[in-house]
Structures are given as C-alpha cells and as structure tokens.
Structure 1
Amino acid sequence: MLTLTQTAAEAVKTIIERVPQAEDGGVRIRDTGAQTGFELSVAQAPEPEDTVVVTDGARVFLDTAANQALDDRILDAELAADGSVKFALAATG
C-alpha cells in the first residue's frame, strides 16, 4: 500500500484546507497510463472503487490502477514558501 511521509500528509491537509467544499475530502490519485503518469485532484469523497490511505488525518484516494502501481511506493512532498507543493514518489526498501 502507498505510504505517506509526514511532509506529504501535511501537504495533503494544506491542499484540502484551501478548498472549502472538500473539507472532509482528500487528494485523489488516478493512473492515466504509462505515457502520462498520474493525475492528482481534490475530491470531496472517494469513488466507490477507490482505496483510501489515511495518514495523520490526511486522506488520499487511489483509483484501482493507481493503487496497483503505487503499492510499494512512498509519497513525499516539498512545501515551498510561496505555498506551492511538489510531490515525489520513491520506492520502499
């Protein structure tokens, strides 16, 4: 299962705080294919087939393909002073 670092969890919570209609939602990751990679969006709730990953109150929703592709990955983030966020994936172990 995808693992979130503490920084990634804080970034997800920060993003969700900026979207009032998604206050109980999360960041949804959808696998758009090998050529284009992953799409991140703010979602009010997971889709019925999504896997939900919760770390320190941060919720990430993974579609079926993303869940399989990211099964052994770690999601990290870098928070910039201007409020922007960069996410990165790393392999476990």
Structure 2
Amino acid sequence: MLMLTPTAIEAVRTLTSAEGTPEGSGLRIFATENAEAIALAVAEAPAEQDKVLDADGSRIFMDEQAAAFLDDKILDTGLDPEGQGAFVLAQQDQTP
C-alpha cells in the first residue's frame, strides 16, 4: 500500500483544504491516457473504481493502474530543479 511521509500528508491536506475546495476532496493519482505516466489532480470525490487512502486527515484517490504502480512506494515532498515544491516517489524499504 502507498505510504505517505508526514510532509506529504501535510501537503495533501493543504492542497485539498484550499478555499473553495469541497469538503471530502482528495488528491487523485491516475494513469495518463497512454498509461506511460501518472498524473495528480485535486478531486471533489473518488472516481467509481478508485481506491481511497485516508492518512491522518489527507485523502488520496488512486485509479487501479496507479494503485498497482504505487503499491510499494512512499510519497514524499521535495524541491524540483527550479526550486518549486513537488511530490517525490521512493521505493519502500523491503528489508524484514
């Protein structure tokens, strides 16, 4: 299952609680049309087949392809090459 760091949880909460965003909104992660990448968007509600992850007040909606890809990942935050805030994926530690 996708794991979120505390900073990612806070970033999702901030994005989904912005003024004008409906109660219960979440960050939707979905495969692009050609399934070669994933995309992010704030959504009012999950799509019909989405898996929903609730993490300390932040909600993540994932389509089936994204959920399968993210199953062994950690969502964190960091800075992109231009110094802007961004989400970052890392592999979960697989050691027992």
TM interval, short-chain normalised = 0.7 to 0.9
2:9 aligned with 1:24, yes or no? Answer: no
Aligned residue-pair number: 87
CA RMSD, 1 decimal: 1.5
Q: Which has the higher contact order (CA 8 A, sep 6+)?
A: 1
- In 2, distance between residues paired with 1:69 and 1:38? 9
- Structure 2 residues not aligned, in runs of 5+: none
After TM superposition, which residue ranges in structure 1, 4 or more long, deviate above 2 angstroms? none
Report what 1:54 is aligned to: 54
Q: Take 1:22 and 1:75, find their aligned partners in 2: how far apart are those partners?
A: 23
Shift of 1:38: 1.1
Write the distance in 2 (CA, Å) between the matches of 1:40 and 1:28.
Answer: 6
Residue correspondence of structure 1 range 1-93 to structure 2 within 5 A: 1-32=1-32, 33-34=35-36, 37-78=37-78, 85-93=85-93
- Segments of 5+ residues of structure 1 without an aligned counterpart are none
Q: Of the two, which has the highest radius of gyration? A: 2
Please report the TM-score for the alignment, with normalisation by the length of structure 1. 0.85
CA contact (8 A) 1:31 1:65 kept: yes
In 2, Cα distance between the equivalents of 1:10 and 1:4? 10
Q: Give the letter for the 1:3 counterpart.
A: M
Give the superposition deviation at 1:85. 3.2
Output the TM-score relative to the length of structure 2.
0.83
Specify whether residues 78 and 22 from structure 1 end up closer, same or farther in structure 2 by C-alpha distance, changes over 3 A only.
farther
How far the C-alpha of 1:77 sits from its partner, in A, is 1.2
Identity among equivalent positions (%) equals 44
